[in-house]
Amino acid sequence: MKKNILLPVLITFMSATLLAQAGQSKIIKKISIQKLESRLSVLIEFDRGISYESFTLIGPNRLVIDFMNVDEFLPRRSMDINSFQVKRIRIGRPEPDIHRLVFDLEEELPQYEIKEVDAGLEISFRVIKTEELKKEIKPPVEIKKEAKPPEKTPPTVEEKTTPAKEEKEPEKTAPKVEDVIEEPWEEIKEEKRFSIGVVTGLYFMQDEAFQETYGKSTFIFGGESSFTLPLKFLDVWISFKHMQDSGKTTFLEEDISLRMTDISLSLRYLIDLENITPFLGPGVDYIYYKESYSGEFPLASISDSEVGFHVQGGTYYHFSGFLSAKLYFKYNMIKTTIEDLTVNLGGTEWGLGLIFRF
């Protein structure tokens, strides 16, 4: 009868224990770094039940530690070390269920040791100098035949024996701690190499005849895309914009319309700050234009294309990792000839855009 009561109670207790353990979140608590005289020590404190695996990569050299079964981890951050052949430490998440700690190493690899401790995991880095290697490599020892020790004679009464002085071992001093660092991390910005967006603005034509016909400014809209080069502070930018306006001829005041398409290509210099990225760069333009006339005008339309140059500048404001706003200006330098008349199609473009980064 007792067994029948004890068994359900035991099952209930074990089930409650397992459920409680399953409900507890497993987190990485803290990463502490100590720069000692002879080694670099990195202590990762985490809850029990977190499994890990480590491996090395080359080109460039890295030591990688992947943590599994982690509910909470430190944010995506990095910290420069530049000591014991360790450049810096980075935190990432290559897969939803894997949190990764990466040690960027120099070309000359350091010695390292991964050891489990009560608090979690300790990784030690040590660089062996050439002098230490020479000390560790001992020269071959010559084996000599042992000579028979001379027979000891009992000391006379007059001789006084004095006990040999015991040599004191030098006191061992604890290694000097140069630096103790606890989470002075900087957030890692995820590299966004490609962007695409929509832009709109006003184009101020320089030619006086165009200003008299169409006004001082024309509405312009279009799209753009960019790709960041491996240098990271340079990118290639391309845009496609279209403008359309209508007016009246100067003398007869007949209806007239203008359509102009601008395809631009530019190499830009970027300054990547915390939330903003200013840019500046030169480029080339291919402009196709068509002017249509109505009424009794001798020509129905005039169309042509020209190549010109531009300089642009502005800044991006990053709302998040993938969404940014853009404010820009662009100065176009382009001229064409219409009916033996030189027309300046250049001007200043001011606008803003909404950019998506990938």
349 with 206: CB under 8 angstroms?
no
φ and ψ at residue 59, rounded to 5 degrees: 70, 60
- Tokens in use for 44? 């990762």
Determine the pLDDT at residue 49: 74
> Which residue shows structure tokens 């910005």?
189
pTM: 0.51
Determine the pLDDT at residue 100: 86
How many angstroms separate the CA atoms of 139 and 300, rounded? 100
Provide the CA 209 distance to its chain's centre, in angstroms.
50
Look at the alpha carbons of 165, 168, 169, 170 in this order and tell me if their dihedral is positive or negative: negative
Determine the pLDDT at residue 59: 83
pLDDT digit string, tens, across residues 309-352: 999 999 999 998 789 999 999 999 998 887 778 888 899 999 99
pLDDT digit string, tens, across residues 24-58: 567 777 888 888 888 899 888 887 778 889 999 88
Determine the pLDDT at residue 152: 57
Provide the CA 276 distance to its chain's centre, in angstroms.
15
Determine the pLDDT at residue 159: 47
Determine the pLDDT at residue 182: 44
How far CA 236 is from CA of 16, 184, 227, 259, 349, in Å, comes to 60, 35, 5, 27, 19
Stretches where the chain sits below pLDDT 50 are 1-3, 9, 16-23, 133, 137, 141, 143, 157, 159-162, 173-189
How far CA 71 is from CA of 50, 54, 66, 167, 188, in Å, comes to 10, 19, 14, 57, 20
Q: Which domains does the chain have, with CATH numbers?
A: 26-126 (2.60.40.3500), 194-357 (2.40.160.20)
